Structures are given as C-alpha cells and as structure tokens.
Structure 1
Amino acid sequence: MTASVDAPAARTEGVGSAREQATEDLLLRASTAAPQERARLLDEVVVLNLPVARALAARFRDRGEQQDDLVQVASLALVKAAQGYQPGKGRGFLPYAVPTITGELRRHFRDRQWGVRPPRRLQELRLSLGAAAAELTQKIGRAPTVPQLAEHLGVDQEEVIEALAAAQDYHLASLDAPMDGEADGTPLGATLGGDDGAIDRVVDHVSVAPLLASLPERDRRILSLRFFRGWTQSQIAADIGVTQMQVSRLLARTLERLRSQLEDPEAEAA
C-alpha cells in the first residue's frame, strides 16, 4: 500500500530532477555557444520549463484575468529568465526563474490591469489583502473584519479601507455588458442618459420667451404657425386673411425685431 501511494510522488520528483538536470546542461552549453546555437539552446530551455510557467500562472487564477493572458506573461518571464541566467551561479535555474516569473505576474496585476490606477502602495496592499482574508477566514471560520485585517497586515485600518475601495477600480464595468448577466440582457449603456441635442438652445429659449410675449397677437400666431406647426406661408395667409406677400413681410419684420432685441436688449420695439 505504501509503495503505491509513494510511487506517483517519486515519479514526479524524478521528472522534476531530470528537467532540472537537462536545463542546467542546456544552459551550460548555451553559455559558450555561438549566438545562433545559443538562441536554439535557450529555446529548448524555455520549452522544457513551460510546465513550470503554467503552474505559476495557475496560482493567480480567479483574480479576474484570463488564464491564457497569465500564461503568456509567465512564458515571457521564463524567456527573460533563461536569457539572464548564468550557469554555476546561485542554486540553479529554477530558484532563479521562479521569483522572476512570479514577479512579472504580480507586476502584471499591479501596473496594467487597473481601470483607474490608485497609488502603488494601495495596489500592493490589495494583493496582500486577498491572501490575508483567506488565511484569517480559515483561522477564525468567518470573513475577517477591517480591524482584524489591519492587525494581521500591520497597517492602519484607514489603509485597509482605502485598499478595499481601490479594489473596486480594478475592473471598470463595460457599458456593453448585460445588467442581468444574461447574454441577451439589457446592456448597461442602454440605461444611461445621452446628450440632449436641445441643451445648447436652452439659453436662446429663455432669452427669447419674454420677447415673444411682447409681440402683437397676430405676429405671435404667424410665428407659431410657421415654426411650430410647419405651415406654409400660403396656409398662414389664408388663416389670418392676408396675402402670402404680406405674410412674408410680417415674418421678416418680426424676426428682425427679435434679432435686434436679443443683440441689444435696450433696442426699442419696432
């Protein structure tokens, strides 16, 4: 029974040891190889250690980022580690590469994924809050309070509150996203007000209202029929009992009077 339980662990350890040895051999050869051969050997190092990069990326899942994006960040960091590693220095390639990859993943979250970027200290504190909350929840059996989080992390409660508030800015809601989560639901943008095309004319309306009130009744009616009801000059002429030419002259005279009074409020009515 013991042998069957320990066998998978032994095989895993053997695979890891074989990978580390093969990696060290490749990097040692690459250190003295010509540029083209060195590039080929480093490519082999990267391919050989991609499972490590994927495993590190998986540690950051469920934080709002696509797993493929995290794997890409980790893979690029692995390439950087392979290029910067010097065989014979340090404890080996993986002890050098793992912090490099993890650091790039943390930097990805810290610097590139905020909808509204808060100060660096709050970005870093937000990352610590998640781990602290999980640890305290496991320990006390419920979600921790702000004072408990602050005490656990050794920071002020105000900083915890700021970091929690900043976490709301990590991802901005898309205006195209459905409000109820359903694929065919109403998008958030459809519930928001739009620009009112008449807003620019409000001042004109307010300014001209008292001037219209001061016009003779016939002039007001002509303006109302022409510009609010859309009547033709012939229709207006028939309605008020004058000729079309007279309607044209009355309109021109009234509009000129309004224009003059808007430009010069002291102008006398015609």
Structure 2
Amino acid sequence: MSDVTGDTGDHLAAEAALHRELDEDVGHVGLEQVRTRSAELFEVLRGDSGVVEQARARDDLVHLHLSLVEHCARRFRNRGEPFEDLVQVGTIGLIKAIDRFETDRGVEFSTYATPTVIGEIKRHFRDKGWAIRVPRRLQELRMQIGAATGELTQKLGRSPTPRELAEVIGCTVEEIMEGIESSHAYATLSLDASDDDDDGPPAMLATLGVEDANIEHVEVRESIKPLLEGLGDREKRILLLRFFKNMTQSQIAEEIGVSQMHVSRLLTRTLAQLRASLEQD
C-alpha cells in the first residue's frame, strides 16, 4: 500500500463517485455491479487465462476505475497543475494499486486504491511540482504550514502568526519562516510575463539592466590611477593623446615638438613601466 494515506472518508466518497461517474464503456450501473465486475476482472488477472486475457482484464480494470482517479484528482485542482496531468499521475497510482492488490484480503479495491492514487498525486507535487528544487524537508514543512494555516485561520478568525504555527506543528519559528520562504520556489514568474493590457506594466525583462561591456575594465582603471600620478608631465600627455584622443605617433610628435621615433621610445618605456608596476602589485 502507498506510504501516503488519504483521509478516512476518501474511499467512501470515491465509491460514491464511482456510482455517479462510471466510465462510458461500463455505463451507469449500480455500485454492486461495479464491485462484481471488478472481482471478475481480478479473477482473470490473477488466474491462468493467458497473457492476452490478463492484459485485457488489467486494461478493463483501469477503465472501470478511472472515475475514482478523476475524483481524487479534483481534490488537487487550482494548485498550479493542469487537471489532465493530475489524472495521468493518478492513473499511474491506479495501475500500481491494480498490480499490488490481493483479493484474498477481503478489502474493497476502491478502499485500497484511493490512498495509493492520492499518494501518487501528492508525490507528484512534492517531487516535480516545484519550479526550483528545494530539500524534501522544506517541501513537507510547506504542506504542514498550509494545513495548519487553514485550521488556525478558521479557529482564530484571523491569519495565524509564525509562533502559533510553530506551536501547532512542533518546530521553531525560524523553521516556519524558512518553510514560508521556500514556498516562493514552488512557482516562478517568467521574465517575459507581462500584463495583456497595453496600459499595464512592462515585462520584468524590460526593466532589467544590460551588461556593461566596460565594467570589466573598472578594476584595471582604478589600479592604474595611482601609477599614472607617478609619471612625468610629458609621459602623461603622450598617454592622453594616444589612448584618449586616439592620435597617431606622428600627430603626437607634431603636437609636443619631438620626433616620431622619440615618441615611440617614450611610449614603449612608459607602458613597460606601468605593466611592471601592475604585475608587482
């Protein structure tokens, strides 16, 4: 049996749902007839009728109890997962219940299958429903906080405080706060998401800054500033004309009144001096 049990009245409600919502292939027949048909199919499945007949009986059992799966899946609607996906997950639980069910125990199949189906759906929410992976401890704590919040809200007539939640659940206030924070990881907002209204706010992506291509040079510029202060006036001027005003060595030579060759030697020496100082730092 599944390690996650449902509420005590789940199987009764599920059996009633079977009576109201039988699969079209079976038709609207009485609940006793459903039980009888289910028993017949399990007898074929567990008997020696052959692989083909057993496979057909297994498929018929799945179709016969799909209403049970749909009933269980409705309990988890409006929690961020499509109903069709919940039915698919619940059907996996139903198939597991069919394969594990032992008819000689004298238990109704719906009584056995309901907690198995619900457990499979809960595991889906616990393991795959999170947008960002968080520890299982926090996932389970979030579910406890949700259940305790509903009960205390009804009892107190207001939203409970973290301390009140901690007393009911039996943990610390810090753990409650951690569990509440982890709930933000359950569903995320796309950066491209925006209001359909033309007058609404823009998408989050439009409000984010872009990467500055010059940011990687900030550290170099800040490191070289004190080194530039130690240079002579002529060397500073040559660097300014070459790298900030983009002048050629010939233009610089005309500007300061020396030969182009002399400018080249001064520039080479100054750059070597700065490079050596940076490497030492």
Taking a change above 3 Å as real, the CA distance of residues 216 and 117 of structure 1, as seen in their structure-2 partners, is: same
Report if aligned partners of 2:142, 2:183 keep a CA contact under 8 Å in 1.
Answer: yes
Match of 2:134 among 117, 123, 126: 117
- Is structure 2 residue 29 aligned with structure 1 residue 12? no
Q: String of CA shifts for 1:82-141, please: whole Å, max 9, x gaps.
A: 222223324222111111011111112223333241452x43343233344334444554
Q: What SS class does the counterpart of residue 225 from structure 1 fall into?
A: helix
Q: String of CA shifts for 1:191-242, please: whole Å, max 9, x gaps.
A: 4456554444344323321221222222222212222232333333333334
Q: With the length of structure 1 as denominator, give the TM-score of the two structures.
A: 0.76
Aligned to 1:4: none
- Is structure 2 residue 32 aligned with structure 1 residue 24? no
Report if aligned partners of 2:44, 2:53 keep a CA contact under 8 Å in 1.
Answer: no
- Larger relative contact order (C-alpha < 8 A, sep ≥ 6)? 2
Taking a change above 3 Å as real, the CA distance of residues 263 and 157 of structure 1, as seen in their structure-2 partners, is: closer
Task: For 1:29, give the aligned amino acid.
Answer: V
Provide the identity percentage: 44
Aligned to 1:59: 75
Report if aligned partners of 1:223, 1:251 keep a CA contact under 8 Å in 2.
Answer: yes
1:1-270 pair list within 5 angstroms:
12=20, 14-32=29-47, 33-114=49-130, 115-120=132-137, 122-139=138-155, 141-146=157-162, 149=165, 153=168, 155-156=170-171, 158=173, 159-178=175-194, 186-193=202-209, 196-264=212-280
Distance 1:78 1:44 in 2: 12
Taking a change above 3 Å as real, the CA distance of residues 229 and 76 of structure 1, as seen in their structure-2 partners, is: farther
Q: What SS class does the counterpart of residue 103 from structure 2 fall into?
A: coil
Q: What SS class does the counterpart of residue 76 from structure 1 fall into?
A: helix
Q: 1:77: Cα distance to partner?
A: 1.2
Distance 1:263 1:157 in 2: 53
Q: What SS class does the counterpart of residue 105 from structure 2 fall into?
A: coil
Report if aligned partners of 1:77, 1:100 keep a CA contact under 8 Å in 2.
Answer: yes
Taking a change above 3 Å as real, the CA distance of residues 65 and 86 of structure 1, as seen in their structure-2 partners, is: same
Number of positions where the alignment pairs a residue of Structure 1 with one of Structure 2: 254
CA RMSD of aligned residues (A): 3.3
Distance 1:218 1:188 in 2: 51
Distance 1:262 1:155 in 2: 59
Which deviates more, 69-78 or 204-213? 204-213
Task: For structure 2, list consecutive stretches of 5 or more residues without a partner in the other structure.
Answer: 1-16, 22-28
Q: What SS class does the counterpart of residue 185 from structure 2 fall into?
A: coil
Taking a change above 3 Å as real, the CA distance of residues 21 and 49 of structure 1, as seen in their structure-2 partners, is: same
Report if aligned partners of 1:31, 1:87 keep a CA contact under 8 Å in 2.
Answer: no
Distance 2:226 2:205 in 1: 39
Taking a change above 3 Å as real, the CA distance of residues 36 and 240 of structure 1, as seen in their structure-2 partners, is: farther
Q: With the length of structure 2 as denominator, give the TM-score of the two structures.
A: 0.74
Distance 2:61 2:126 in 1: 28
Task: For structure 1, list consecutive stretches of 5 or more residues without a partner in the other structure.
Answer: 1-8, 266-270
Taking a change above 3 Å as real, the CA distance of residues 116 and 191 of structure 1, as seen in their structure-2 partners, is: farther
Task: For 1:73, give the aligned amino acid.
Answer: V
